[in-house]
Amino acid sequence: MAMAPRLRKFALTAHVIFSVGWLGAVAGFLALAVVGLTSRHDQTVRSVYLMLDLTAWYVIVPLCLASVLTGLVSSLSTPWGLFRHYWVLLKILITIPSSLMLLVHMQPIGYIAGIAAKMPLSIPDLQRLKIQLVIEAGAALLVLLVATALSVYKPKGMTRYGWRRQQEQRALAQP
C-alpha cells in the first residue's frame, strides 16, 4: 500500500515522536523506580510509586501503543515493508512482545501503588517488587535503545520474502 509522500512523512514523523517519547518516559520511569528503591524518606517513596502508576498508565502505555501502530503503518507504506528487511522484522519481534510485557507489568505497578496510597512501604516483602520494577524498567530501556539503533543504522539484509518481492518487481519492470 503506497502512501503519498507527504502522508508517508507525516506517519514517519508521528512514529518517531511516539517512539522517542516512549523511550524518554521509560527512562523517567527508571529514574523514579531507582529513587523509590533507594530513598529513606517514606513520603518520597510513597509519592514515587503513585507517580509510577500514573506515568505508566497515562504516558508509557499510550506512547507504546501509538508507537506500535504508527510503526506498522509506516512500514506498510514505505519500500522497507513489514517483512522485507531483517532490521524491520527484528524491530517487530522485539517491540510487540515488549508491548505485551508492558501490559503484564502494569499489574505489579498498580499493586505497589495501591499499597503506597494506604500505608508506608517499609514492608520487607515489597523490596523484591521494588527491585523487580527497576530491573524491568532497565530491560525495557535497553530494548527501546536497540530498536532505536536498528532504525538509525538499518543493517543490511533482506529476508527471503523481501528478496523474492524485489526479484518480482525487477521482472515486471523489464520490457
What's the pLDDT at 144? 97
Q: Please tell me whether residue 85 adopts helix, strand or coil conformation.
A: strand
Per-residue pLDDT, 1: 61
Which grid coordinates belong to 107? 499489574
DSSP state of 158: B
32 vs 119: CA distance, rounded Å: 19
Number of domains within the chain: 1
> Phi/psi of residue 105, each to 5°?
-65, -20
- What is the value of pTM for the model shown? 0.89
- CA dihedral (133, 56, 66, 104) positive or negative: positive
* CB environment 147-160: b (16+ within 10 A), e (fewer): bbebeeeeeeeeee
pLDDT at position 167 is: 85
Gap between the Cα atoms of 79 and 168, Å rounded: 14
φ/ψ of residue 39, rounded to 5:
-70, 145
Which residues of the chain fall short of a pLDDT of 50? none
Which range of residues forms the domain containing residue 125? 5-173
Grid cell for residue 29: 520511569
